[in-house]
Structure 1
Amino acid sequence: MRSPLLTLTLTVFLISMVGWLLVVGRSLLLPFIIAIIVWYMINALSNVYRRIGYGNFHLPGLVAFPLALLTIFSVSTFVLDIVAVNLTQLAQDAPTYQRRLEELFTQAADLFHLNDPVELRDLFPDSVVPRMVTAGASVVTAIAGSASLVFIYVLFLLLEQSTFDRKFEKLFATPERAKAAFAIRAEINSSLMHYFTIKTAVSVATGVLTSLVLIAIGLPYAALFGFIAFILNYIPTIGSLIGVIFPSLLAIVYYDTLGPFLIIATGLGLIQFSIGNLIEPRLMGANLNLSGLVIMLSLALWGAIWGVVGMVLCVPLTVMIVIVCSKIEAARPVAVLLSENGEIGDLPAATQPGS
């Protein structure tokens, strides 16, 4: 009989090895992960289109599926073009904003009569603003550069998706175990669909309202900041805060008075607070069943492994881990610890002892 110490050692070694592979294989895995997300979105949107109809007539799959495919890629291309144009313009204007920021530091030193005034280069390295903008532009360029690889992955996923169920069923020795596995997959799919539907809707609302506020005030790059707010809204807790900070900091260096800064910070703060703390929790409900502490730890872990993409995916990945662990007897303690209230449901009949 295998000793508990040996089992624990092997488990720790396996987890460490998987973590190491995730970090080392980041450049290979991230395009595939993005492709899976796009593939999932295409199928979900296709199902939505198939429900559209009048009376007994509904869009057939042969129409709904290409329409969903065209919608996803058209919207992605349009958004990336807008972001790229805004980032290019921001990169050109960055030296001006940095000089303005240095002037503000000098004015603050004179206002408080500092003998040894704090300068921008004391807090940040030289050319910090242009470097930050250039880094943002390089991220968008990298995403656009990997678009062809993502497209190839998505194409093969779409071509082979008709065989996925047959392959999945062949993985299990008995029909009962296969049925239990399909039930687990359906539960994961239901939870993720609920999460992504609500999160995408509130993220779009956040991005649109952010852009409208900035357009009304007259701050440039409103579309870019709206897109940033849309993406950051997927990142729990800190995403909404960062979405307010970026345009507010630009308002400080763009305007000569603090009025627009206060209006932007207050307006965006109210948008983020209302959507994130009042609207989204009501729509999301208790469907995810994740501890708040676990979400923050997951955010740090996946952010360290896969950067911003990992932060965006931290909640869905943790939900999947909780659901899978809750259906495996030996791993149920992990699911209990990760859950919000310890209620993780019963084991499927096919996975119970003696089945």
Structure 2
Amino acid sequence: MDIRTGDRDTAPRGSAPEALPGLFEAGGWAFAAQVAICGIFLIVFVAALDLARPVLLPVTFAFVVGWMLGPLQVRADRSGVPMLLTAISLWLLVIVVCNGLVMLLSAPVIDWVDKAPEIGRLLKERLYFLNGPWVALQDIRNAILPEDQAKSAGLDLITIVQPVLSVATPALGQVLIFFATLFFVLLGRSGLRRALVVRFDDHESRLRTLRIWNDIEHQLTSYLSVVAIINLIVGLGAAIIAFSVGLPNALAWGVLAFILNFIPYLGAVIMELILLGVGLVTFPTLTHALAAPLLYLVFTTLEGHFITPSIMGRRLTLSPLIVFLALVFWTWLWGPAGAFLAVPLLIVGLVAIHHIFPKHEPNLPG
């Protein structure tokens, strides 16, 4: 009954409110079902990526590197070089570059591992001002855990070696999968592209697939080659900074900065922390130890605001928010290796979306 007029409500009992008429219609339920199916598929897809990481990670790396080297294969093919010779040459080039980077970094790492007990003692002496907070944390731990559990929570050699072996042993298999997949990707690039194109029946779908493949190769090659040049400048600057402040192995610092700078945002932060830690061990004063991190911070700030925008241009720039979210997602899913793949996979996804869902700009009047 309407309170204002005294009339009875003529709507039948059990009918849906007029404010939500579409919710109980067939179209509304169909839309809700589609959203639920898409959500379930997304969850299952992410879970599959996580479970298949030992295989998908090196295979994805191989495809990214193969796409990046695709234009070189095209030029070699146009010059009359046999495909097998091109694939073997590029494959050996990747092996040589990876081996060179490992050799440049392995000697300093082995040296620092041998000095681990001395480094720990020096850090404890240099960071004496943190003894108070550290003692407070230990008191809190002793108050929460019984004494026998607190002792069992300490570190020993076995607890350190076991995680290292659990990571290093699968990593060797993943390296073999990467190089094997990369060789077959380079060898069968044209055949793989042709097989993907002929899967579609209509002419428009075939052209779209071919455009996606070619655009992915072009964008990845353009982006990663320009980023490699920028990172080479960053590595050279890091080597000069390390040499000028007196850090040992200046060339290794340049190589490390070159590699870490492929990770947006996090790479520079990791480099700063490593420079600070080594500076605290190497130099007698805190001021001298802060010299290299501060100089590197100034250099990377200039690089991020002036060098990179001037070299990259507007054509290759990506939204910082999208890059950060991609970095967070792939690092969470695949760890440090996912951080290196975040931007290349983002480029692949954006290229595919651009061709599958093209934008139609409206014709605005006046």
TM-score by length of 2: 0.75
**Aligned AA (1:117):** G
The reply to whether residue 85 of structure 1 matches residue 107 of structure 2 is yes
1:98 to 120, 125, 139: 120
Sequence identity, in percent?
23
The answer to whether 1:150 aligns with 2:150 is no
Structure 2 residue identity aligned to 1:195: Y
Q: Distance between the aligned counterparts of 1:325 and 1:43, measured in 2?
A: 21
Q: Distance in 1 between matches of 2:165 and 2:330?
A: 23
User: C-alpha displacement at 1:65, in angstroms?
Assistant: 5.3
- Separation in structure 1 between the aligned mates of residue 178 and residue 318 of structure 2, nearest angstrom: 30
Aligned to 1:117: 132
Are 1:68 and 2:87 counterparts?
A: no
Q: Deviations over 1:298-339 (max 9, x none)?
A: 11111111111211221222222223223334xxxxxxxxxx
SS in 1 for 2:329: helix
Q: Which has the higher contact order (CA 8 A, sep 6+)?
A: 2
Structure 1 counterpart of 2:221: 193
Aligned residues: 317
Rounded Cα–Cα distance in structure 1 between residues aligned with 2:266 and 2:196: 38
Q: Give the distance between the partners of 1:137 and 1:182, measured in 2 at CA.
A: 43
Preserved contact between residue 202 and residue 280 of structure 1 (Cα < 8 Å): yes
1:297 is aligned to 2:313: no
Q: Distance in 1 between matches of 2:166 and 2:232?
A: 24
User: Which amino acid in the other structure matches residue 250 of structure 1?
Assistant: V
> 1:81-132 deviations in whole A, cap 9, x for unaligned?
22222222111112211111111232x36xxxxxx7234894899679xx99
RMSD: 3.4
Q: Residues 47 and 165 (structure 1 numbering): CA distance in 2 closer, same or farther, change over 3 Å? A: closer
Q: CA–CA distance in 1 between the matches of 2:112 and 2:296? A: 21
Structure-2 separation of matches of 1:257 and 1:77: 36
Letter in 2 for 1:282: S
Aligned residues of 1:298 and 1:314 also touching (Cα < 8 A) = yes
Larger Rg: 2
CA spacing shift, 1:279–1:47, aligned 2, 3 Å:
farther
Q: Separation in 1 of the partners of 2:325 and 2:135?
A: 33
- How far is 1:145 from its partner? 5.2
Give the deviation of 1:248 after TM superposition: 2.0
Deviates more, 1:162-171 or 1:225-234: 225-234
Measure the CA separation in 1 of the matches of 2:277 and 2:165. Answer: 18
Matched, 1:36 2:63: yes
Using the TM superposition, give the Cα deviation of residue 297 of structure 1 relative to its aligned residue in structure 2, in angstroms.
1.5
The amino acid across from 1:257 in the alignment is T
Q: 1:257 to 1:289 in 2, by over 3 A?
A: closer
Q: In the alignment, which residue of structure 2 is the partner of 1:173? A: 201
Q: Which amino acid aligns with 1:76?
A: C
The aligned counterpart of 2:145 is none
Partner residue, 1:350 = none
**Aligned CA distance change for structure 1 residues 95 and 45 (closer, same or farther; 3 Å):** farther
1:264 is matched by which residue type in structure 2? Answer: A
User: Is the 2:70–2:217 contact (alpha carbons within 8 Å) kept by the matching residues of 1?
Assistant: no
- SS across alignment from 2:115: helix
**Structure 2: distance between partners of 1:259 and 1:250:** 13
Deviation, 1:13, is 1.0
State the alpha-carbon separation in 2 of the partners of residues 282 and 140 from structure 1: 40
1:91, 1:134 within 8 Å by CA — same for their partners in 2? no
Matched, 1:266 2:294: yes
* Residue 16 of structure 1, aligned match among 23, 39, 43: 43
Give the corresponding residue for 1:214: 242
Q: Which runs of 5+ in 2 are unaligned?
A: 1-25, 142-152, 362-366
**Within 2, Cα distance between the matches of 1:265 and 1:34?**
31
Q: Deviations over 1:227-276 (max 9, x none)?
A: 33222212222321222221122101221023432321222112211222
- Alpha-carbon distance, 1:22 to partner: 0.5
